[in-house]
């Protein structure tokens, strides 16, 4: 449904929106903890505002809603994607915008200072993102391990990561917000590395935001001054096998397809999306699959890409 103007909610609609937000949060349970009924339920389909990262948040949301999506995620990764500033933006205003545009829920927030190992401000930044997410009714905050400094041993890097996770998770547990680690760093692009990170804490609020393309290419986007680069790490992994190995810890999923380093509409690239969706379905995953791109195209090209990807996910939801 195209959205051309602000919608006034009736009391009943407001209550329904509130309920839907609660359901979205429930959907963020790890896959094997989800109800068996989820195996037959339609996939919850979302889209990241990063696809329109160079445009204002409201325009990004209107375009996402126009394409048919009922869920969205956003980022606090300025200057790359400056759609949220958790120190300045009012979470109540954000919630109202999402409701007015007819969204059923906000699924995740990529955190500021989200590279935990190399960023000395990661504890402060991610903690602030968690506080903001709680007030904005966002159930998942996403971060990554980040690139290990060249002069740091693996053991020292993992100890630093564990110490910083402990500080962040103390707040995440208190506020009941999942901290979801994305394959986005030195260790997290393999099943072994993700399991090693998950073993750093016994907290049920430590989880995974799986990214299909990052694992497929053994790389992730490193941002700097509003731009980005793809940094390869080790050997390419099988995105389906890797997901199967860690699916019990997954609370959010980035569905991303690529040809080389270029993001394309889902189903047009080299990522085995169908296999990943089947793993999620078989595991009873009840969360959201959220389209992600790097947002390096104009608005109309982006609109076509997210619309084609929405159609792909709707059809895939019926096939897997």
Which tokens go with 52?
């329109």
Question: Given a cut of 50, is residue 8 above it in pLDDT?
Answer: no
Question: Given a cut of 60, is residue 21 above it in pLDDT?
Answer: no
The SS3 of residue 45 is strand
CA 88 from chain centre, in angstroms, equals: 22
Question: Given a cut of 70, is residue 23 above it in pLDDT?
Answer: no
pTM: 0.86
Which tokens go with 136?
């904005």
- Give the span between the Cα atoms of 1 and 187, in whole angstroms: 41
pLDDT reported for residue 232: 59
Average pLDDT over residues 56-61: 99
User: What are the chain's domains?
Assistant: 27-319 (3.20.20.150)
Tokens 């630093």 belong to residue: 160
Lowest-confidence region among 124-133, 134-143, 156-165, 236-245: 236-245
CA 268 from chain centre, in angstroms, equals: 21
- Give the span between the Cα atoms of 283 and 278, in whole angstroms: 8
How many helices (H) and strands (E) in the chain?
10, 12
pLDDT reported for residue 18: 44
Question: Given a cut of 50, is residue 55 above it in pLDDT?
Answer: yes
Q: Which residue has the higher pLDDT, 2 or 78?
A: 78
Is residue 237 very low, low, confident or very high in pLDDT (cuts 50, 70, 90)? confident
- Give the span between the Cα atoms of 295 and 52, in whole angstroms: 5
* Helix, strand and coil in the chain, % to nearest 5: 45, 20, 35
Instruction: State how beta strands 219-224 and 288-291 pair.
Output: unpaired
Residues 6+ apart with CB under 8 A from 89: 132
pLDDT reported for residue 15: 33
Which tokens go with 176?
């009941």
Residues 6+ apart with CB under 8 A from 6: 100, 101
pLDDT reported for residue 1: 35
pLDDT reported for residue 236: 77
pLDDT reported for residue 315: 95
The SS3 of residue 153 is coil
Is residue 219 very low, low, confident or very high in pLDDT (cuts 50, 70, 90)? low
pLDDT reported for residue 13: 41
């Amino acid at each position: 449904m195209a959205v051309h103007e602000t919608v006034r909610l009736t009391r009943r609609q407001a209550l329904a929106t509130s309920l839907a937000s609660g359901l979205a949060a429930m959907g963020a349970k790890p896959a094997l903890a989800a109800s068996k009924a989820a195996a037959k339920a339609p996939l919850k389909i979302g889209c990241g505002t990063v696809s329109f990262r160079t445009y204002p948040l409201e325009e990004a949301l209107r375009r996402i809603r126009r394409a048919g999506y009922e869920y969205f995620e956003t980022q606090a990764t300025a200057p790359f994607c400056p759609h949220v500033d958790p120190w300045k933006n009012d979470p109540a205003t954000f919630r109202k915008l999402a409701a007015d545009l007819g969204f059923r829920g906000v699924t995740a927030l990529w955190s500021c200072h989200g590279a935990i190992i190399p960023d000395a401000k990661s504890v402060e930044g991610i903690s602030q993102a968690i506080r903001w997410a709680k007030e904005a009714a966002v159930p998942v905050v996403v971060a990554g391990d980040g690139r290990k400094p060249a002069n740091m041993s693996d053991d020292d890097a993992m100890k630093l990561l564990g110490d910083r996770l402990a500080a962040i998770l103390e707040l995440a547990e208190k506020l009941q917000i999942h901290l979801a680690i994305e394959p986005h760093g030195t260790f997290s692009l393999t099943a072994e590395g993700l399991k090693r990170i998950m073993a750093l804490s016994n907290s049920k609020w430590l989880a995974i935001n799986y990214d299909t393309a990052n694992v497929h290419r053994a790389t992730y986007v490193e941002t700097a001054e509003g731009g980005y680069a793809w940094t390869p790490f080790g050997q390419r992994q099988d995105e389906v096998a890797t997901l199967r190995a860690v699916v019990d810890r997954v609370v959010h999923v980035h569905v991303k397809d690529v040809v080389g380093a270029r993001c394309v509409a889902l189903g047009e690239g080299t990522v085995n999306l169908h296999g990943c969706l089947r793993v999620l379905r078989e595991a009873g995953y009840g969360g959201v699959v959220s389209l992600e791109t790097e947002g390096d195209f104009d608005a109309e090209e982006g609109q076509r890409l997210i619309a084609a990807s929405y159609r792909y996910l709707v059809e895939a939801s019926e096939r897997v």
